[in-house]
């Protein structure tokens, strides 16, 4: 299962954080498909029907482009099959937010895009999962372990400063938050009565890795490393049945408990990501992987970037690529919350995490 993610990078940061290698081994930085950077809204708490950044082959939009050249697109979470006959995609009566890797060839909704090579990579800071315990559910945030180049530096502020300077250089490697790269399928649905195409995606799930089985028995299929990402997206070189071998359970993720604040998808603030102790409901001593997140959450208040407030989040939840409204409840205003939020909203002055 995967019912909630977080992606807090600004559009330009998504480009830098999702650099990839082509067949020749050359590092390249993808650009956004025309107009799609405006459809994407960063969020600490993304739910199905929202727009997420997706990496895919440019050949899907430009038949003359090299198949190993990638582009970023904003797609809606929850696959709408191209053959869906209704005039309103909200009338779909089954859930397509996730699909199991072992049944991809059994269901038409997923088999068709798979065999057409419509493979994509969903980008996120991480995803949320809930562990059942007695009458309650404890939420966790799950993500790639974060590694700093100067691990000998123990002061969070010094580490933050170094990462800030490095990650702002467009000609250097991205040194901000290491984004999670999730295997998915996408499809394009055209309204029967005419209108703009709606691009949507589904997250592929596999059996949970040993270290995550204590939380849930399923997890998103993670593509770990540039070569796996390249092979998943290069549908010209890697055919569909061969690509399925990339969908494996990987014991490469880490996690921490978060507040039940994330249970409500209308809550969109850095507190959704902050580590908590489920026993005493207080912030615990940070682990190596959450130290960077903690330092950013506690940063200075000098940013000039605007926080993604309730109006922006509401707009994301109500929009589709074809501008069909989606019913949601009114959202609460979020509070300014330190340098994690500032990295999202500032003029590129702080490194970004969830």
CA-to-CA separations, 328 to 63, 64, 137, in angstroms, rounded: 37, 40, 23
As its CATH architecture, domain 5-345 has Alpha-Beta Complex (3.90)
Which pLDDT does position 1 carry in this prediction? 66
Cβ-proximal residues to 200 (8 Å cutoff; 6+ apart), any chain: 75, 76, 77, 78, 79, 80, 89, 96, 186, 187, 189, 321
For the segment 85-124, what is each residue's pLDDT rounded down to a tens digit? 988 888 888 899 999 999 999 999 999 999 999 999 999 9
Residue 157 annotated to the active site: no
Q: Which two tokens stand for residue 70?
A: 């990638």
Residue 129 annotated to the active site: yes
Q: Which of 7, 15, 99, 129 is catalytic?
A: 129
- pLDDT reading at 277 higher than 80: yes
d(CA 198, CA 203): 17
d(CA 143, CA 203): 15
Our CA angle for 173, 174, 175, nearest 5°, is 110
Cβ-proximal residues to 90 (8 Å cutoff; 6+ apart), any chain: 324, 326, 327
d(CA 322, CA 308): 22
Break the chain into its structural domains and give their ranges. 5-345
* pTM, entire model: 0.77
Q: Which two tokens stand for residue 90?
A: 């909200």
Q: Which of 2, 70, 120, 257 is catalytic?
A: 2
* DSSP single-letter state for residue 287: -
For the segment 138-148, what is each residue's pLDDT rounded down to a tens digit? 999 999 999 76
Which pLDDT does position 119 carry in this prediction? 98
């Amino acid at each position: 299962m995967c019912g909630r993610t977080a992606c807090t990078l600004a559009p330009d940061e998504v480009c830098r954080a999702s650099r990839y290698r082509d067949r020749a081994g050359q590092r390249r930085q993808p650009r956004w498909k025309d107009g799609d950077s405006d459809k994407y809204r960063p969020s600490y708490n993304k739910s199905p029907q929202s727009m997420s950044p997706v990496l895919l082959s440019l050949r899907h939009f430009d038949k003359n482009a090299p198949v190993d050249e990638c582009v970023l697109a904003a797609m809606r979470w929850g696959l709408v099959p191209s053959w869906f006959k209704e005039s309103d995609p909200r009338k779909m009566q089954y859930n397509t937010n996730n699909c199991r890797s072992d049944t991809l060839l059994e269901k038409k909704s997923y088999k068709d895009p798979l065999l057409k090579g419509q493979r994509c990579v969903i980008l996120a800071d991480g995803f949320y999962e809930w562990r059942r315990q007695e009458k309650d559910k404890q939420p966790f945030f799950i993500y790639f372990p974060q590694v700093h180049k100067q691990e000998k530096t123990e002061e969070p502020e010094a580490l933050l400063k170094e990462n800030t300077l490095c990650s702002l250089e467009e000609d250097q490697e991205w040194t901000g938050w290491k984004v999670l790269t999730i295997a998915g399928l996408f499809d394009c649905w055209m309204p029967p009565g005419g209108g703009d195409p709606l691009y949507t995606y589904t997250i592929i799930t596999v059996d949970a890795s040993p270290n995550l089985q204590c939380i849930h028995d399923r997890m998103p299929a993670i593509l770990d490393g540039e070569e796996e990402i390249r092979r998943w997206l290069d549908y010209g070189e890697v055919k569909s049945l061969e690509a399925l071998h990339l969908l494996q359970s990987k014991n490469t993720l880490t996690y921490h408990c978060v507040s039940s604040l994330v249970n409500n998808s209308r809550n969109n603030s850095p507190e959704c990501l902050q580590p908590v102790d489920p026993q005493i409901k207080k912030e615990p001593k940070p682990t190596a992987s959450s130290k960077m997140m903690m330092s950013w959450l506690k940063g200075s208040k000098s940013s000039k970037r605007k926080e993604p407030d309730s109006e922006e989040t509401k707009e994301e939840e109500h929009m589709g690529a074809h501008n069909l409204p989606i019913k949601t409840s009114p959202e609460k205003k979020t509070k300014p919350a330190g340098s994690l939020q500032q990295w999202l909203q500032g003029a590129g002055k702080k490194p970004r995490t969830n």
